[in-house]
Every structure is written in structure tokens, then in C-alpha cells.
Amino acid sequence: MFCSKCGQELLPTARFCSRCGTKQETIEVNTPKPVIPKIGDILMFGHIDHEDNKIPWVVLDSVNNELLLLCRNIISEQIFNSGDYQGVVWSNCSVRQWLNSEFLELCFSNNELERIVTKEIRTDIKAGLFGSKIGNDVSHDRVFLLSMDEVLKYLPTPQSRALHNRWWLRSPGSDNEYVAAVFDNGKIDKSGFLVDRYYGGIRPAVWISTTVNPKTL
């Protein structure tokens, strides 16, 4: 920075010239605010295999400076649980463990990881397919699968849910050996598939902050 009258070099914060005393004009630099995505927008966040292969997400909801994102595509095909098949719920399945460990570590930068919020995830447990609610499966996750209720809320039509393959939900199916899924035509299979025998697509969901590291949006 130099004096506008005599040319004396000044500190960037100087208001008056140290040589001639001339008052210096201050120029305000307005830094543009990051554009916050809206519901329905596609947001590129994270990557698969290499940093140039960004992951597209659909913005499903916006609450208190946080966005709910659903991966636009299936990122992997896995059985729901690689161990026991009885008594399997979201909180003890191998898909949840993979999403909240390997997937997070390999697919997100440190700045992106700081933006992913840990949430309490509640999943209704019912007595059979048409039975009444008998409890909640509760976990605390940064990455999760949508429940049946969430899919009906955010993706209300088969067309909005349809992909090239079926994909898992976290809601139980007809009993404790099955888990619900979405068919490739977008219809929801409430009876579900055996947790340890059938492969299904993985569409992760995350809540991210719009105030932490906003430049990564």
C-alpha cells in the first residue's frame, strides 16, 4: 500500500501517511457469501476412487443451517449384514459399520469430514410387517440409510426413487431376518430381502453443516 499523495509505502492498515500525514482512503473488499444449495439441488461432495470423480448428492431437506443429502446414485452393492441373519437391525449391521468407517475415510477430505454431522438415528421396530410399533433401534451416525418413512416423505413417487437396481433401506422387513428395500422401478418392498443372502444397492445419506468450511460446498 502506498500514500495517494507522496507515494510513501505504508502498512495495509494505515489510515494516515507517516511522511505527509495525508488521510488514506480505505477500500472495503466484499467477500461473496457462499451460495447455499436449496432442496432439490445437486451438490458435489466427496469422491470415489480419485478426487476428480466427485459424488453427486440430492438435497432433501434444510434445517437450522444443516442440509440432508442423499447420494444420487448407488455407490456400492452389498449384503445388508455379513454375519448373523437373526436379530439384525440397522445399529448392528455390517453396512452401517462400513459406511461409518471405510466409506468416510476413503471418500472425504478432512475439510469435508468436519462438515458431516453426527445424528441420532431412530428406526421403528414393529411386531411383523403389519404389526404395531414395539420399540426403536437407536444409533448415532454420520452416514446412514434412509428409513421407509423418510423415503415416503422425501421421495414420494416411484419415479423419484427408481434407479438401475434395488437399494436398501434401514427399516426392518417382514421379520427380523429381512430388511426393506426399493425396487429398481421405484416401488418399496416392505417385506424386504434376507439380510445375509441378497445384494442391494447402497445410497448413503448425510447431514452436513452449512456454516463449517462453507467453501467446500
Which has the closest alpha carbon to 55: 110, 106, 115, 114?
A: 106
Q: Rounded CA gap, 68 and 140, in Å?
A: 15
142 and 69, same domain (yes or no)? yes
* Maximum separation of any 2 CA atoms in the chain, in Å: 86
Q: Rounded CA gap, 92 and 123, in Å?
A: 12
pLDDT in tens, 68-107: 999 999 999 999 998 777 778 999 999 999 999 999 999 9
pLDDT in tens, 8-17: 777 877 778 8
Can you give the pLDDT at residue 100? 98
pTM as predicted: 0.80
Q: Write the single-letter amino acid at 168.
A: W
Q: Rounded CA gap, 67 and 217, in Å?
A: 11
Does residue 37 lie in a domain region?
Answer: no
Query: How many structural domains are present in the chain?
Result: 2
Reading across the β-sheet that carries 116-117, which strands appear in turn?
42-47, 54-63, 66-71, 205-209, 116-117
76 and 151, same domain (yes or no)? yes
- The whole domain housing 74 covers 42-216
12 and 52, same domain (yes or no)? no
Q: Write the single-letter amino acid at 165.
A: N
Can you give the pLDDT at residue 27? 53
